[in-house]
Chains A and B, each alone.
Chain A
Amino acid sequence: MKHPSQATLALHAGGDLGPFARWRVDRHLTDCDQCREEVAKYGDLREVLPELGEMPEVAWSRLSAEMQANIRLGLAAGECVRAGEAPSRWSLFTGARAAVALASVVALLVTGLMIERPMPRPNWRNEGIVVQRVPNGIQVREGGQALQLMNPSAPHQQVTYSVGAQGSLRARFVDQETGNVTFNTVYVEE
């Protein structure tokens, strides 16, 4: 099975894909647990890290110039090892090299869009301390920081969760390796 790229999954998690691309990724996600988990992780990150929308100033023009220089350097180095063949004016921009250069530019643009795109700020700053389930585990979080206890060895259906109203959340499961019942607990502590 061919998996979508990480950038595509990240865009999907943020609802930033076009209709056709989204439809294709949705189809893939229905059959692929691995990618679904990746999308969930990107979703979690977006939720807990609104600082993503507050990246410090980046010198894009300098970054772009450095990347172009690196691409030119790589292409020139390739030409050096191809002895006896006189390069034509356009030969540097044909075939696989052109594809690599184009892919680099696209990757740069996609990354730039992902980082630069303004995101709506969730109101977690006012939410306080939260304990909740996350994929394969339980979490206590406040703002951009979180502590999670995972239960990777237990099938999802066989994990039971219980909340203590004083501020705790428990996940209970039978550890598949040891056969022991295990309680993972996270606590709110002010």
Chain B
Amino acid sequence: MRRVSLVAALSALCLCAQDVPLDSPNAVKINLKADSPVALLSASMGESRATARGAALMLDLHMALSLRNTTPNRIRGVVLRVVSQEVAVGGKASVSVPSLNVGPGEAFPIRIDLQLMRPTQQAAGGPLVEVDLDGVLFQDFSFYGPDRLNSQRSLTAWEMEAQRDRDHFKKILAQYGPEGLRQEMLTSLARQAERPQLDVRLVRRRAVSGVAVSSEHTAQFAFLKFPDSPVEPLEGWAELSGNEAHAPRVQVRNNSSKTVKYVELAWLVSDEKGQQYVAASLPASKPDLYLPPGQTARVLQDSELHFTRNGEPVNIRQMAGFVSQVEFADGKVWVPNRQNLESNALLRVLNPSPEEQRLSDLYRKKGLQALQEELRKF
């Protein structure tokens, strides 16, 4: 009955070309299983509204969730999956919060700000949006969740980077004192402010579209190789045409003694002036990759990337890449160490780790004392 009233309200909205608040609990359904390690304390819909604009209906959802850790273990990261079946293309999104430090019984907030656009003719049935838990990572690297979005791998890699960067800042503090830590934070903030960023638009064409993608030339990757990397990139190419790149493919070899089940490369591009940018991450195409020691595999994607900066096309001249993440069959994850990134001047180009971003933001807002106290918590 409530669903019917929601449909009726949205239909009336379409006819009246006005906007209405969306406060019905049936607009959003939050699914947490009985054995979930987090419990929902509250869910506020705030200023959520549905607005008719011409022939489109725009749904503006602002959710503030409060969750509580119901386990005896500390939570390090959470991923919520957000699905709107009304929208084509699967209508799938996620909100991930890594670098958490939530103790047993403690509560933490997660915000979800979502907009859905669809033609007004499309009928609504059931909840507009469903939110469910895709994964929770704990301090001991144990994991809970259906992991439909590969959250375990992402959260584990972010936590590995977090430990790496916290150790780095603790070493700086121990070696050079608070003033050394301050300098390191200022350097990090300056790097983040100056880091060049491209606008990348990704297009995945339907197989039946029949649209040919023009190709100017095939360009070869230049690889940066880290001595401790378990996987080595051997050779790779992509098709370049002006500010477009598509069909990247890279051959990699497992140099470790363990079986690898996931490889991800960072893809860097340079423009005509030699300015380098991060273009994309390039994951192994097969979800069921199985790469025993000494074997090779091909990383291949069928996407088309368009590069712009400040609204202007950026023509690509050169490409580079390096292995940025490896997951072994036993669930362990490898990420490059800080020395590898520093020695190859990659810190200037790459995004900082989520933890470095959080700590530098904490320093910027609350100062050196707060940062030192935060580092002591880990």
Q: Is the CB–CB distance between B118 and A165 below 8 Å?
A: no
A146-B116, A163-B280, A163-B281 as given contacts; A183 in contact with B354, CB under 8 Å: yes
User: Are B56 and A144 in touch, CB under 8 angstroms?
Assistant: yes
Residues on A with C-beta less than 8 A from B89 are: 129, 140-142, 145, 147, 188-190
Q: Considering the chains assembled together, what is the distance between the CA atoms of A51 and B201 in angstroms? A: 23
Q: CB-nearest residue of chain B relative to A114?
A: B54
User: Given A140-B93, A189-B89, is A132 in contact with B201 using a C-beta cutoff of 8 Å?
Assistant: yes
Indicate which residue in B82, B278, B305, B357 contacts A174 across the interface (CB closer than 8 Å).
B357
* Interfacial residues of chain B within 290-314, with CB under 8 A of chain A in the complex: 301, 303, 305
Are A165 and B281 closer than 8 Å at their CB atoms?
A: yes
Name the one of B115, B119, B202 contacting A137, with C-beta atoms under 8 angstroms. Answer: B115
B204 touches A167 (CB 8 A): yes
Q: Does any Cβ of B come within 8 Å of A127's Cβ?
A: yes
Asked whether A145 and B209 contact (CB < 8 A) given A132-B201, A162-B278, A166-B303, the answer is no
Cβ-defined contact, A182 with B305, below 8 A: no
Q: Which residue of A lies closest to B154 (CB)?
A: A183
Cβ of A186 within 8 Å of any chain B Cβ, yes or no, is yes
Among B193-208, those with CB < 8 Å from A are 193, 195, 197, 199-206
Tell yes or no: B219 within 8 A of A by CB. no
**A185 pairs with B94, CB closer than 8 A:** yes
A51→B281 contact, CB < 8 A: no
Residue total for B at the interface (Cβ-Cβ under 8 A): 69
Contact with A along B79-91 (1 / 0, CB 8 A): 0001010111111
Contacts of B305 in A (CB 8 A): 163, 165
7 A-B pairs closest in CB distance: A189-B90, A128-B205, A150-B113, A163-B280, A183-B96, A148-B115, A181-B354
12 pairs of residues in contact across A and B, judged by CB atoms under 8 Å: A132-B199, A137-B113, A149-B114, A150-B114, A152-B113, A160-B357, A163-B305, A165-B282, A172-B354, A178-B111, A181-B99, A185-B93
Taking Cβ atoms with an 8 Å cutoff, the residues of B that contact A are 53-56, 82, 84, 86-100, 108-119, 122, 149, 193, 195, 197, 199-206, 209-211, 248, 267, 278-283, 285, 301, 303, 305, 351, 354-355, 357-358, 361-362, 365
A interface, CB within 8 angstroms of B: 41, 44-45, 48-49, 51-52, 55, 115, 126-133, 137, 140-153, 157-158, 160-167, 169, 172, 174-175, 177-190
Sample of 14 further A-B pairs with CB below 8 A, known A127-B203, A144-B118, A160-B357? A48-B117, A49-B55, A129-B206, A130-B201, A137-B113, A145-B88, A149-B113, A149-B115, A179-B361, A179-B365, A183-B97, A184-B93, A188-B202, A189-B89
